[in-house]
């Protein structure tokens, strides 16, 4: 957790000060490659986990339903929040 | 963009399931993912530093940025509480599953310890699904529901694993809100899960 903040902060400072020079531009592209690799590794981790694949048969469908309702619920709540914030900002009560 | 997200995830899942990944991988996966993650987060930071408007976005939101994780928490817990009731669980048992916010290892272990192996396994699996599904739906969520909504599906994972993916899909401006949201939700998991399980006993 601290290392994540550290990496983000280090990158932020280097980027802001322009100390990376032209390398800073490459970083955007390297980031895409990193995300693709990251997604593959996450997939492989889930796919190769015997504990997960064994439980899938019995509890898979039920678990998927909980995942879907959690996501839908969180999306609804954030949309409601967004509307609330927009209303307040329009009325000039923000702050 | 959607293909760029789904293809590597699907390939990884298949390769892992079919045993095409070297044997020791599952043991090393955590370290490998952490390593790549650190690099990607560093890269996101560099890009963020180069764009001055990103900071302005967060300053504009101010303390309201913390209302985002609060909404995500309420929405997730309410959603799974209702699902639990529909599937014959007590409301708090369903709610505890949702309070994992995608942090499957901790929520699975906690619920197994405090309740039962069955509910713990269910929480574990459903939070694994939440992480994977949040990546899969992200491009559509961003397209139809907007930037702020893109922070919601990942729950606690937007602090680390899905942070660069949110950045890639929804833009670097939301990175700080996404990180803050994931951070607050991560702190909430070890508090909320025992609390919700405790209500019923």
pLDDT tens digits along B76-107: 999 999 999 999 999 999 999 999 999 988 89
Q: How does DSSP assign B68-111, residue by residue?
A: HHHHHHHHHHHHHHHHHHHTTS-HHHHHHHHTTTT-HHHHHHHH
pLDDT tens digit at each of 201 positions of chain B: 566 777 888 899 899 989 888 877 777 887 888 888 888 889 888 877 877 666 666 677 677 778 999 999 999 999 999 999 999 999 999 999 999 999 988 898 889 888 998 899 899 999 999 999 999 999 999 999 999 999 999 999 998 889 999 999 998 888 889 988 998 899 899 889 999 999 876
Cβ neighbours of A43 in B, within 8 Å: 8-16, 132
- What is the pLDDT at residue A94? 44
- What is the pLDDT at residue A62? 95
DSSP code, position B141 = H
Please state, in angstroms and rounded to a whole number, the distance separating the CA atoms of residues A20 and A29: 15
Q: Is B115 on the interface with A (CB under 8 A)?
A: no
- What is the pLDDT at residue B58? 64
Whether B128 and B107 have beta carbons less than 8 Å apart is answered as no
Coil, strand, or helix at residue B18? Answer: coil
> Above 70 in pLDDT, residue A89?
no
> Above 90 in pLDDT, residue A87?
no
Domain containing residue B63: 2-199
Q: Which residue of A has its CA nearest to B117?
A: A55
- Pick the residue with more confidence: A88 or A55? A55
pLDDT tens digit sequence for A8-58 = 889 889 988 888 888 877 886 787 888 889 889 988 888 888 888 888 888
Please state, in angstroms and rounded to a whole number, the distance separating the CA atoms of residues B14 and A79: 34
In this structure, what token pair is assigned to residue B87?
A: 């599937």
- What is the pLDDT at residue B119? 93
Interface of B with A in 74-113 (CB under 8 A): 74-80, 82-84, 87, 94, 97-98, 101
Cβ neighbours of A39 in B, within 8 Å: 5, 8-9, 12, 135, 165
State residue B99 phi and psi, 5-degree precision. Answer: -75, 0
Test B153 with A75 for CB contact under 8 angstroms.
yes
- Provide the angle, in degrees to the nearest 10, between the axes of the packed helices B163-170 and B175-199: 130
Whether A31 and B44 have beta carbons less than 8 Å apart is answered as yes
In this structure, what token pair is assigned to residue B2?
A: 């959607």
Please state, in angstroms and rounded to a whole number, the distance separating the CA atoms of residues A69 and A65: 6
Grade residue A95 by pLDDT with cuts at 50, 70 and 90.
Answer: very low
- What is the pLDDT at residue B18? 92
Domain residue limits, chain A: 1-48, 51-95
Q: Is A68 on the interface with B (CB under 8 A)?
A: yes
CB pairs under 8 A between A and B: 284
- Pick the residue with more confidence: A72 or A55? A72
How many domains is chain B partitioned into structurally? 1
Q: Is B1 on the interface with A (CB under 8 A)?
A: no
Please state, in angstroms and rounded to a whole number, the distance separating the CA atoms of residues B89 and B83: 8
In this structure, what token pair is assigned to residue B153?
A: 């599906």
Q: Is B60 on the interface with A (CB under 8 A)?
A: no
Test B179 with A8 for CB contact under 8 angstroms.
yes
Taking the model in full, what pTM does it have?
0.81
CA distance A22 to chain B (A): 12
- What is the pLDDT at residue B101? 97
């Amino acid at each position: 957790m601290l290392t994540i903040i550290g990496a983000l902060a280090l990158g932020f400072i280097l980027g802001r000060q322009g100390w990376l020079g032209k390398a800073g531009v490459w970083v955007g592209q390297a980031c895409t490659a990193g995300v693709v690799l990251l997604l593959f590794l996450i997939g492989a981790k889930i796919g190769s986990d015997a504990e997960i694949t064994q439980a899938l048969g019995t509890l898979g469908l039920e678990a998927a339903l909980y995942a879907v309702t959690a996501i839908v619920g969180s999306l609804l709540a954030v949309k409601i929040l967004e509307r609330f914030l927009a209303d307040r900002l329009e009325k000039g009560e923000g702050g | 963009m959607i293909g760029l997200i789904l293809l590597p995830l699907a390939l990884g899942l298949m390769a892992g399931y079919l045993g095409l990944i070297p044997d020791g991988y599952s043991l090393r996966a955590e370290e490998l993912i952490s390593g790549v993650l650190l690099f990607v987060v560093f890269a996101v930071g560099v890009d963020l530093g180069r764009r001055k408007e990103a900071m302005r976005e967060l300053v504009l939101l101010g303390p309201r940025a913390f209302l985002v994780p609060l909404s995500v928490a309420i929405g997730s817990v309410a959603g799974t509480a209702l699902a639990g009731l529909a599937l014959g669980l007590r409301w708090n048992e369903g709610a505890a599953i949702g309070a994992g916010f995608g942090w499957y290892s901790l929520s699975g272990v906690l619920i197994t310890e405090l309740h039962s192996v069955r509910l713990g396994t269910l929480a574990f699996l459903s939070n694994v699904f939440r992480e994977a599904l949040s990546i899969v739906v992200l491009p559509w969520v961003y397209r139809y529901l907007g930037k702020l909504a893109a922070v919601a599906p990942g729950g606690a994972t937007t602090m680390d694993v899905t942070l660069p993916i949110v950045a890639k899909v929804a833009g670097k401006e939301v990175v700080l809100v996404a990180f803050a949201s994931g951070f607050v939700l991560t702190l909430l998991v070890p508090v909320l899960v025992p609390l919700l399980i405790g209500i019923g006993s």
